[in-house]
């Protein structure tokens, strides 16, 4: 028997106001990116003719994208960023999972001490200079691994995964042990297939962090060929000469000014995450909720 709830006029009016506000906030959040994209594909003459504000251009041009992908700097930066994001995220997830699984078992010796030590790192750190000295002493300076190995495990993500593992039914693992599965076999065959939401969640956390990373790039890298996309974007915005910064050969400033190039690079640096996120959104919300609350 289904229960039908009849809303009053006041409830309907409240719902309408809420949806209107949510729609307004969504438009306000999306408009800056939309404007950046529109400017990147609009002839600069039309932008200036409309006072720098264009909602929908009369003509479209991809000259800015042809210029940045025709230069050696942007494709190389994208390759470095993709490598750091893919390899770094995989390593992060492997190490985080292998550490979170035993810490989710209360019978593991030294569990509380290790958890306290990990939580301590969330509140206190050795500082930037000691970390820089350590990276140089390990021979990681001016290598892509300086962007991956330091900070291999996020304590926040680790605690979320640990809590999620603790919420899994113990009977499932016990049945696997009865069938002859060892700890690693139970983890990879039983636990991980049941943990797709939390794996997608921390994968998104780690992936976004790697994709947007620029501090490590400016701190540990001096070779321009190793710099990721965000570092190139930062240098380009700060540089008075975009053509020199991006090694552009055929930039005509009268028809393709620096502002258009900057907008196109912002789109290239942002678009991949916007494409991936919708496919992970349902796992992201579910995993964050289940991994944050101990049931």
- The yes-or-no verdict on residue 245 having pLDDT over 70 is no
Q: Exposure of 68 by Cβ count < 10 A (0-12 exposed, 13-18 middle, 19+ buried)? A: buried
C-alpha 110, offset from chain centre: 33
- The yes-or-no verdict on residue 242 having pLDDT over 70 is no
- Compare 52 and 78 and report the one with higher pLDDT: 78
Q: Worst-scoring range by mean pLDDT, 81-85, 143-147, 257-261? A: 257-261
Distances (CA, A) of 137 to 16, 51, 72, 75, 121: 61, 54, 31, 31, 21
For the chain, domain boundaries: 1-61, 71-295
Task: State the average pLDDT over residues 9-37.
Answer: 86
Residue 254 φ then ψ, to 5°: -75, -30
Task: State the average pLDDT over residues 20-39.
Answer: 87
Closest by Cα among 280, 273, 232 to 68 = 232
pLDDT for 19: 92
At 287, the pLDDT band (50, 70, 90 cuts) reads: low
Q: If you ran DSSP here, which 8-state letter would residue 250 be given? A: S
Q: Worst-scoring range by mean pLDDT, 69-73, 206-210, 238-242? A: 238-242
Q: If you ran DSSP here, which 8-state letter would residue 152 be given? A: -
pLDDT for 232: 84
pLDDT for 295: 43
Number of H helices, E strands in the chain: 15, 0
pLDDT for 1: 44
Task: State the average pLDDT over residues 198-208.
Answer: 87
pTM of the model: 0.79
Task: State the average pLDDT over residues 243-257.
Answer: 58
- The yes-or-no verdict on residue 246 having pLDDT over 70 is no
Q: What is Dmax (Cα atoms) for the chain?
A: 75
pLDDT for 7: 73
Reading the block at residue 106, the tokens are: 């209360």
* Domain spanning 71-295, CATH class: mainly alpha
């Amino acid at each position: 028997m289904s229960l039908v709830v009849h809303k009053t006029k006041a409830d309907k009016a409240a719902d309408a106001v809420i949806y209107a506000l949510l729609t307004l906030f969504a438009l306000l959040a999306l408009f800056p990116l939309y404007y950046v994209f529109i400017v990147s594909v609009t002839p600069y003459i039309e932008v200036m003719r409309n006072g720098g504000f264009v909602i929908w251009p009369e003509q479209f041009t991809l000259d800015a994208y042809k210029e940045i992908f025709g230069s050696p700097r942007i494709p190389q930066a994208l390759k470095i960023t993709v490598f750091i994001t893919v390899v770094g995220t995989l390593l992060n997830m492997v190490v985080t999972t292998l550490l979170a699984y035993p810490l989710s078992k209360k019978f593991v010796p030294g569990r509380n001490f290790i958890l306290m030590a990990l939580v301590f790192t969330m509140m206190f750190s050795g500082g930037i200079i000691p970390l820089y000295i350590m990276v140089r002493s390990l021979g990681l300076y001016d290598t892509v691994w300086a962007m991956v190995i330091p900070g291999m495990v996020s304590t926040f993500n680790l605690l979320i995964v640990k809590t999620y593992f603790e919420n899994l039914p113990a009977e499932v693992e016990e049945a696997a042990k009865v069938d002859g599965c060892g700890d690693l076999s139970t983890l990879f065959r039983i636990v991980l297939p049941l943990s797709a939401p939390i794996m997608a969640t921390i994968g998104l956390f780690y992936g976004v962090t790697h994709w947007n990373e620029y501090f490590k790039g400016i701190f540990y890298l001096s070779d321009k060929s190793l710099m990721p996309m965000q570092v190139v974007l930062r240098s380009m915005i700060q540089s008075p000469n975009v053509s020199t910064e991006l090694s552009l050969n055929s930039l005509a400033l009268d028809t393709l000014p620096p502002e258009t190039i900057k907008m196109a690079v912002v789109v290239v640096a942002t678009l991949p995450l916007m494409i991936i996120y919708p496919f992970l959104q349902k796992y992201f919300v579910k995993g964050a909720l289940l991994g944050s609350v101990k049931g």
